[in-house]
Structure 1
């Protein structure tokens, strides 16, 4: 198949999926800005792979995600014995996600983690747990390890008797020492936590959540079989400088279809008015930061968001 024929296949993919995944420029605060990406070097020579690599780059997927999608499209073509431009890959087998060992998975947590408050201090954790927020995360930033340990222990104490599930961001050793329900790590943490340390966390029975920002990172997260996977940033956020563009609702829905074997948490710029649209993608949890900590009455805001979660279920 020559270059023109491969480009025709790529255009067929773009024609079918451009309205859903296409690069778009919006100016609304809750919209996402996606622009066509440079075509990365090809690692294979099959027509389906090359067409998908070209199409997904044109649709705004960064190089590693375009590559992951192209590989999946090739596997889908081989598995079904036909190239189908209409079917966006969403079968775990085509992404290498079906070969997992339950004995090596991290401890389970509920599929519906519900409203998930990401909070800066143990005091905030306690306030929101007592307000009924079912899942909370302590994201305490300090270089003072003694202060970190104290804050984590205080957070563990703060949720006792509330039923709230407490995850600790990053500081996994102190979280294990304090007996936290779970630990949340980013992709960069998977580079720095040794395999033996991940095994220590797993065998302790402590839950592990992992942040992802696209297809390649979801595949990487699956390799450690975490307790849940966070998907984001869905919308623009000023709280953290992101290496990737906001993902938007269409990509979020596609990620949910692919990763449905896991409890999933949507995070990033999600305001109360966006809860119905985010929940409609099928995620079992919505994480918020500013909607709680910047609220004039945080407890009232928590009650309102909990009602939104229930109404959008």
Structure 2
């Protein structure tokens, strides 16, 4: 197959999917702007792969995600016996997500974690747990290890008797020592923690959540079989400098179709008015930060957001 024919295949992908995934301004409540990306060097010469690599780069997927999608599109074509520009890859087999060993998975957690408050201190954790928020995370940033230990222990104590599930961001050893329900880490932390310590966490029975920001990171997260996967940032956020652009609702929906074997948490710039659209993608949890900590009445806001979660269930 020549270059002209491969280009025509790429154009067919873009014609069919640009409305959903195109590199353009998405006119939603928190506009997400995606721009075409440089095409990475091809790793193979199969027509479906080359066409998808061109198309996905033009649609605004960063290099590692365009590569992951192109490989999946090639496998999809091989498995079905034909190239289909209309079917966006969403079969776990085409991404190498099948065949995992359940014995090596982290302890399970509820598929619907509900409203998920990401909070800066143990005091905030306690407030929101007492307000009825079902899942809370302590995201306490400090280089003072003694302060970290105190805050983690205080957070564990703060949720006692409330029924809230407490995850500790990053500080995994302190979380294990204090008996927290779970640990949450980012992609970069998977490199830092290392296989031995990941195995220690798994054997402890502590739940383990991992952040992802696109296809390549979802595949990588699946390799460790976490308790849940966080998908983001869905919309623009000022809280954390992101290596990837906000994903938008169409990508979020595609991620949910692919990763539905996991409990899924949507995070990043999600305001109350966006709950229905985010929940419509099928995620079982919506994580919020500013919506709670910047609210004039955090407890009342928590109740309103939990009602939104129920209304869109």
Misfit runs of 4+, over 2 Å: 25-29
Question: Are 1:199 and 2:233 counterparts?
Answer: no
Shift of 1:26: 5.3
Deviations 1:25-79 (A, max 9, x none): 3587601010000111000000000000000000000000000000000000000
Equivalent-residue separation in structure 2 for 1:28 and 1:166 (angstroms):
32
Deviation, 1:205, is 0.1
Q: Name stretches of at least 5 consecutive residues in structure 2 with no aligned partner.
A: none
What is the CA–CA distance in structure 1 between the aligned matches of 2:27 and 2:67, rounded to whole Å? 29
Distance 1:227 1:249 in 2: 23
Which residue number corresponds to residue 139 of structure 1? Answer: 139
Equivalences for residues 50-199 of structure 1 within 5 A: 50-199=50-199
Indicate if the aligned counterparts of 2:26 and 2:248 stay in contact, CA closer than 8 A: no
- Give the distance between the partners of 1:91 and 1:120, measured in 2 at CA: 37
Specify the alignment match of 2:250 in structure 1: 250
For 2:15 and 2:287, locate their aligned partners in 1 and report how far apart those are by CA, in whole Å. Answer: 34
Pair 1:27–1:89, CA change in 2 (3 A): closer
CA RMSD across the alignment: 0.8
What's 1:261 paired with?
A: 261
In 2, Cα distance between the equivalents of 1:28 and 1:78?
36
**Which residue of 1 is the match for residue 309 of structure 2?**
309
**What SS is found at the alignment partner of 2:142?**
coil
> SS at 1:270's partner residue?
coil
Instruction: Return the alpha-carbon distance in structure 1 between the equivalents of residues 145 and 175 of structure 2.
Output: 12
- TM-score normalised to structure 2 length: 0.99
Where in structure 1 are there 5+ consecutive unaligned residues?
none
Tell me if structure 1 keeps the 8 A contact 2:117–2:133: yes
Query: Which residue in 2 is equivalent to 1:2?
Result: 2
Q: 1:293 to 1:174 in 2, by over 3 A?
A: same
Which whole-Å CA distance do the structure 2 matches of 1:249 and 1:206 have between them? 31
Take 1:219 and 1:26, find their aligned partners in 2: how far apart are those partners?
A: 26
Cross-structure match for 2:239: 239
Residue equivalent to 1:224: 224
Aligned length: 313
**What is the CA–CA distance in structure 2 between the aligned matches of 1:24 and 1:49, rounded to whole Å?**
23
Cα deviation code 1:195-228 (max 9, x no counterpart): 0100000000000000000000000000000000
Report if aligned partners of 2:90, 2:254 keep a CA contact under 8 Å in 1.
Answer: yes
User: What's the TM-score, normalizing by structure 1?
Assistant: 0.99
Contact 1:29–1:236 (Cα < 8 Å) also in 2 = no
